Structure formats: structure tokens, C-alpha cells
Amino acid sequence: MASSDDIIAGIKADYFRRQRRRQYARLTIGILLPFITAPAFGFAALVAYAAVGCTSPTMGGLAGRENDPCRDGGWALLLSLAVCLALWLVSSALVWRWARRPPDSH
């Protein structure tokens, strides 16, 4: 028959093993998720660029140049990339912070 000290030691060992597994899983997610979501946010930037309408052909010539919203279309691409990069950085930082959170202390 196991003594109560052995039972308590076994319970604590199980608890700390579960905590280590959870911490390892959180760190794995925290490292992998930014790499997985980076292409998605890049694609979202291109979709936002297309949604502005800068991919459609314009009238061309000098007559339509002043009315062309994408005359210097680089601004739309840079803006959409900047917004998506900011969203990606914030989400990655939040996931990394969550992953690095210390285990519950009891």
C-alpha cells in the first residue's frame, strides 16, 4: 500500500507534467502561428489593394489622368500592406505573450 506522501508526490508529478505539456503546446503555437498567418495577411493586403480598384484599367491618356484615383497607385498597395503588417504584428505579439505566460501557480 502506498503511503499518503507517495500519493501526493504522484499527484504533484502528474500536475507538473500536464503543466509542462501545456506550456510546450503554447510555445509551439506561439512560434508557428506567426509563420502560418504571414502569407494570409500578405494575401489580405493584395485583396485590399484590389478592393480599392487600382487593378482595373483606366481611361488612359491625359484626359482621365486627373480623375484617376490610382494615378500613383503605389500608395494603395503600401497602405494595405502597412495595415496588414500592423495587424499581423499585433496578433503575433499577443499570441507570443499568451505562449510565454507562466503556468498557473497553485
pLDDT tens by residue, 68-87: 656 666 677 777 788 888 88
pTM exceeds 0.85 for this model: no
pLDDT tens by residue, 18-41: 988 988 888 888 888 888 888 888
Q: Which pLDDT score is estimated for 106?
A: 45
Residues 6+ positions from 23 with CB-CB distance below 8 Å = 103
* Cell numbers representing residue 34 in the block: 506567426
Q: Which pLDDT score is estimated for 71?
A: 61
